Structure 1
C-alpha cells in the first residue's frame, strides 16, 4: 500500500484530523522555507513543516508533455543550473509571457525526463549567499511529489498540513495547448487530494482559471491574487484597453463583487502596510473591507531582510541584514489578516505566538 492509501485509511480510522486546524493567521511557507533553502525543493518544504508552517505554497507550471512542476516561473535560468547543460543550449529562446519579453529557458520546452536532470539554485544569491551552499543538491519537484511529501509529513508530525497552490500564467499555458486547470484537477484525482477536506487552497492572478477549477469540481478554497498595480492577463486578453485593473478589484465595490465568486484575496504586502507622510508605518483598511465582503485575506510576503522592510524598520544599509522584522510582521498580523506567506516560517510563527501571549 502506498503512502497516500495509508494516510487515507488512517483518516478514516480517525488517527488525525483531515482539515487543517490552526491559530489565525495561517502561516504559509512561501515556496517552502525559501529563506533557508533554495525554493521549491524537497529540503525547503521539509524544513517549512519542521518550523511550524500550517501550509506551504508551490508555484505550478507545466512541461511540454503536460507534467506539472514547481517553479517560481516557467522561465528557469535563475532557479536552476540549466545554463550549465550544453545539451539544452539550443532551447534558449525569447518569449513574451503575460506581456513581458523574457529570454532564457522555459519549462514548456522540456519534457519531464529532460527537466528532471536539472538541479535547483538559490534565486536570490546576492541577498541570501548562505543558501548558495545548497546549489546543485536538489532536483526539480513535480506537483505529485509535493502531494506525497505533505501526506508523509502530516502523518509523521501528527498534524494536518495544507497546500496553497498557485496556478501560474494560466492564459499563456492554455494558449499553447497546456490547460493548467485540467492538468491540476487530474493531479488532484491521481494523488488523492480531490476531497473537500480543508487542506487545499487554489490561487491565481487570473479569475478565469479559478472559475474553471470550480467548474471542474476542484475541492478547496479559491483565492484571487491582487498585484498593487497592473491588469490581470485574462482581462487584458479578453478586453484590451477596457480590461479591469487589479486596483478596480481592490475597491469596496470590487471586493463585494468578488464575494460571490471566490473565497478570498491574497495581496501584495504594500497594500496592507505603508509608510505615511511622516515616515511612520501604518496599515490600510483593506482587511476590514474584504472581511465585510465576506472574503478571507492573505498577504505576501513576510521577509526579515532590510530590502523587503519599510524604511522605518530597517537596520543599517545592507539589504541582506535582518531589520526590525518583528515590528513589521506584528503590524501586518495585527490587522486581523487570515493568512501570511513567509520565507522564514519560524519567524512568522514566533510573532503569531507572541500576539497570543
Structure 2
C-alpha cells in the first residue's frame, strides 16, 4: 500500500470514529444551553394548525417538539383543535349551517370527522381532517418526535385531565422513555395542571402565564415550567423563575410563546429561556443556533 493510500485510509477511519464519539463537553454544554424549539400547533406557518400535515411538516424541518391543543366532543372524544369553536379552521358553516355557534362540545366526533380542516389554509391541504388525540400521538410517535400537549378550556370539559392521561397511557406515552424526556402537559389553568400532577406525578407539567414572582413557590409545588407570552418576558423574570425548583426538584424552566421572527427569537434566547414555541420553527432554530 502506498503512503498516500495509508494517509487516505487513516483519515477516513478518523472521520468515521469522530461520528461515533460523543460530543466534547464544551460542545455538549453549548448545545444544552440553546433553547428547545417547539413547533406551535405543528409547523403552523407552513401547514394547517393542529393537523397531521402540520406534524409532518415539523418532522420534515427536523423539529423534535410539537405542541398541540386538546378539546372534547359532545360524545366524549378528544380532538386536537385550538379554538372551542370549529368556525375558524374548518368548513363547519357550510356542512352544518344551522348549528351556530359551532362549538366543539356540541358536535360528535363523527360529525367533526366530516369537516375539511385544511382548505382555509390553502388548496394544497383540502380534505385535511381534525385529528383525534390518538391519531395525533400516533403521528408524533411515527416521527419519533416529542409532545407538548395543551389542555384547552378545561372548564368546559370536566374530567378532561383524567381522560387525557388515560389516552396517553393507552397509547404507550406514560412509560419511562416518554415521561423522561418526550412529554410535557401544560395549561392556562393552574387547577388543571395540578390535577395532571396529582393523577400522574411523574409527568412533566407547565403552567401557561406570567404569575407574580411572589406566587412562584406555590406553582413550584405542582409544575416544572412557567411558560409566558414572549411579550411579557424580561431577563429578570426568567432569572427569578430559574431561582426556584419545580415539583421534580430541578430549576423551574421557561418556555415562551409565540415567537415567529429571528429578532424576537434572539432576544428571548438572550434572556436564557429553556424553550421557544413558534409557528416557524426553522426560522427560530436558525436564529438561536446561528
Shorter-chain TM range is 0.7 to 0.9
Instruction: Tell me, in whole angstroms, the C-alpha distance in 2 between the residues paired with 1:110 and 1:223.
Output: 29
Structure 1 unaligned blocks of 5 or more: 1-20, 93-103, 126-130, 155-160, 227-245, 273-282, 304-324
Instruction: Tell me, in whole angstroms, the C-alpha distance in 2 between the residues paired with 1:198 and 1:41.
Output: 23
The CA deviation string for residues 270-312 of structure 1, in whole angstroms up to 9 with x for no partner, is 112xxxxxxxxxx441111100123100111012xxxxxxxxx
The CA deviation string for residues 7-57 of structure 1, in whole angstroms up to 9 with x for no partner, is xxxxxxxxxxxxxx9743111100001001110111111111121222111
Q: For residues 115-130 of structure 1, what are the structure 2 equivalents within 5 Å? A: 115-121=112-118
In structure 2, the residue corresponding to 1:285 is in which secondary structure? helix
Aligned to 1:285: 236
Query: Would you say the 8 A contact 1:32–1:41 is kept in 2?
Result: yes
Report the CA distance between 1:335 and its aligned residue: 0.9
In structure 2, the residue corresponding to 1:214 is in which secondary structure? helix
Instruction: Tell me, in whole angstroms, the C-alpha distance in 2 between the residues paired with 1:331 and 1:217.
Output: 35
Aligned to 1:111: 108
**TM-score normalised per structure 1:** 0.67
Instruction: Tell me, in whole angstroms, the C-alpha distance in 1 between the residues paired with 2:202 and 2:56.
Output: 25
In structure 2, the residue corresponding to 1:58 is in which secondary structure? strand
Aligned to 1:132: 122
Q: 257, 267, 285: which one pairs with 2:228? A: 267
Aligned to 1:190: 170
Structure with the largest fraction of helix: 2
Aligned to 1:297: 254
Aligned to 1:239: none
Instruction: Tell me, in whole angstroms, the C-alpha distance in 1 between the residues paired with 2:201 and 2:85.
Output: 27
Query: Would you say the 8 A contact 1:65–1:111 is kept in 2?
Result: yes
**TM-score normalised per structure 2:** 0.82
Instruction: Tell me, in whole angstroms, the C-alpha distance in 1 between the residues paired with 2:84 and 2:263.
Output: 35
In structure 1, the residue corresponding to 2:149 is in which secondary structure? strand
Structure 2 unaligned blocks of 5 or more: 1-27, 246-251
Aligned to 1:162: 146
Instruction: Tell me, in whole angstroms, the C-alpha distance in 2 between the residues paired with 1:135 and 1:78.
Output: 15
**Structure whose alpha-carbon radius of gyration is higher:** 2
Instruction: Tell me, in whole angstroms, the C-alpha distance in 2 between the residues paired with 1:62 and 1:330.
Output: 37
Query: Would you say the 8 A contact 2:67–2:150 is kept in 1?
Result: yes
Structure 1 pair 218–70 and aligned structure 2 pair: CA distance change class (3 A): farther
Structure 1 pair 73–218 and aligned structure 2 pair: CA distance change class (3 A): farther
The CA deviation string for residues 200-240 of structure 1, in whole angstroms up to 9 with x for no partner, is 100001111111112222642110111xxxxxxxxxxxxxx
Q: CA RMSD in A?
A: 1.8
Query: Would you say the 8 A contact 1:52–1:345 is kept in 2?
Result: no
Aligned to 1:351: 287
For the pair 1:147 / 2:83, whether they are aligned, the reply is: no
Query: Would you say the 8 A contact 1:26–1:339 is kept in 2?
Result: yes
For the pair 1:337 / 2:273, whether they are aligned, the reply is: yes
For the pair 1:327 / 2:263, whether they are aligned, the reply is: yes
The CA deviation string for residues 140-188 of structure 1, in whole angstroms up to 9 with x for no partner, is 111111111111111xxxxxx21010001112211xxxx2112101101
Structure with the largest fraction of strand: 1
Report the CA distance between 1:268 and its aligned residue: 0.9
Aligned to 2:54: 44
Q: 155, 163, 172: which one pairs with 1:171? A: 155
Of 113-122 and 35-44, more deviation after overlay is shown by 113-122
Report the CA distance between 1:136 and its aligned residue: 2.8
Query: Would you say the 8 A contact 1:199–1:220 is kept in 2?
Result: no
Query: Would you say the 8 A contact 1:45–1:56 is kept in 2?
Result: yes
